[in-house]
Amino acid sequence: MNANNDSIISGVLIDETTLTIVELANACSVEYTWVVQHVEDGQLERTDGAVNAAISRADAAEWRFASAALIRARRLANIERTFDANAEVAALVVDLLEEVAILKQQRFAQRRQ
Amino acid sequence: MEFRDYYQILGVSKTADADEIKKAFRKLARKYHPDVSKEPDAAARMTELNEANTVLSDPEKRAAYDRLAAGGQGHRAGQDFRPPPDWNAGNEYSGDGMSADEAARFSDFFSSMFGGAAGGPGGNAGGRAGGRRTRGAGEQQMRGEDHHAKVVIDLADAYTGATRAINLRAARLDDSGHVVTDERTLNVNIPKGLKEGQHIRLAGQGSAGFGGGPSGDLFLEISFAADPRYRIDGRDVTAIMPLAPWEAALGATIEMPTPSGNVQVKVPPDSQAGRKLRLKGRGIPGETPGDLYLEISVVLPPADTEAARAVYETMAREMPFNPRVAANTAKGA
């Protein structure tokens, strides 16, 4: 493999284009069914314009995911793997981590004032 | 390469049973989990723990490691170490073997022990997405694994775009099936209009595929360097705008530095601290650009000269103003 590549490469901005369920599963090193299950259980959100519509496995190939879902899915998978945690506990932990991140941002903003 | 004492890393004895190892790993994983740990070396320690747990929680790998560690005069952590030739011959690992990429994230010691032998490129019993193939399915095409990296940019970069050099470490198997680590630098175009937490996907920049399969992708997660001058919410940006008391009271046209350069701002008279001026469309660019909010902060000049003190004394005499009463009146209104 080349040691250095001087040319400048450009990528695709996720959110302008979104990830399919297979792409999300690949990016998180999880099975396709893992993503389906977590969407059905409300632990991962889609951004395909049908978030409030009834979730149907048959439509899973049409589901789309944004950057926030990728971050959340990787965290969920990591917590589940590291602690052998069930999906609900992992989701609770990730919810709390997200809440902590928001509070830290608010505290940073307050300190600055 | 240095010998790794996996028992020492997990803080367990060499006779620890599977349950003790699991408990020790979880306890330390909680302490060093990068999302919560305050330890400066948390990420490195977590990788070390994962490595030790990967070996010691797998009976076959643990047995092989124990045999190796017991050889010669015994080995101590950090001691220079060379595995004997063909030490791994006859070892057969099953189940969740490591791919070359996973092995590469661990130490050289681990990679040389288990990276090539534990199922080769892929090596997993299939099913998992992301660059795996079933053992024995040598000719099967398989997509390479996706890689992830974080990129920290300044807020100004989100306004203008930038180029960043990203250093990456990835592994591949050489012709003899051993793990070799390649380091490379990618110069990546960071487009303008990025938000915190957004990803850039670089197609084909992950692990190489197997059997002619496509390469994985590289995902770059964007985060902004902490900047005390700005608060960012999506594409909206808030900056503190310090004003002298007379500018806030009388109104003024001032020059204000912003992430996209200096702008002339007209401050209306009677501008109280905390009030925000919105500069529409001057937040982070995008299809719907964010707004820039300038939050007024009134800064008092110090009364450190006779003249300054005289001005304050004149104000106190001429302006019957009690901010506590004003505040209460405003609340009651």
Structure tokens at A28: 């998180």
pLDDT classification of B87: cutoffs 50, 70, 90: low
pLDDT tens digits, one per residue of B307-319: 999 999 999 999 9
Instruction: Quote ipTM for the complex.
Output: 0.79
Helix (H, G, I), strand (E, B) or coil at B11: coil
Task: Flag the least confident range among B99-113, B122-136, B183-197.
Answer: B122-136
For residue B273, give the DSSP letter: T
CA distance B8 to chain A (A): 19
Q: Measuring CA to CA, how many Å separate B228 from each of A105, A109, B224, B299, B316?
A: 11, 8, 12, 17, 34
Segment B70-87 shows an average pLDDT of 62
This prediction's pTM? 0.71
Residue the block writes with tokens 């070396």: B41
Among B219, B230, B296, the strongest candidate for a mutation testing the A interface, having the largest count of A CBs within 10 A, is B219
* Residue in A closest to B186 by C-alpha: A5
Structure tokens at B154: 């300044």
Contact B189 A25 (CB under 8 A): no
Contact A1 B170 (CB under 8 A): yes
Residue from the list B129, B183, B201 with its beta carbon closest to the beta carbon of A30: B129
Neighboring chain A residues of B43 at a CB cutoff of 8 Å = none
CA angle B228, B242, B304 (to 5 degrees): 110
How far does chain B reach from its first CA to its final CA, in angstroms? Answer: 74
A106 at interface of B, judged by CB pairs closer than 8 A: no
Question: For a pLDDT cut of 70, what percent of chain B falls above it?
Answer: 73
pLDDT tens digits, one per residue of B251-307: 999 999 999 889 999 999 999 999 999 999 999 998 889 999 999 999 999 999 999
Q: Look at strands B179-190 and A4-10 and give their pairing.
A: parallel
pLDDT classification of B321: cutoffs 50, 70, 90: confident
pLDDT classification of A113: cutoffs 50, 70, 90: low
Task: Flag the least confident range among A14-18, B85-89, B204-208, B218-222.
Answer: B85-89
CA distance B30 to chain A (A): 9
A29 at interface of B, judged by CB pairs closer than 8 A: yes
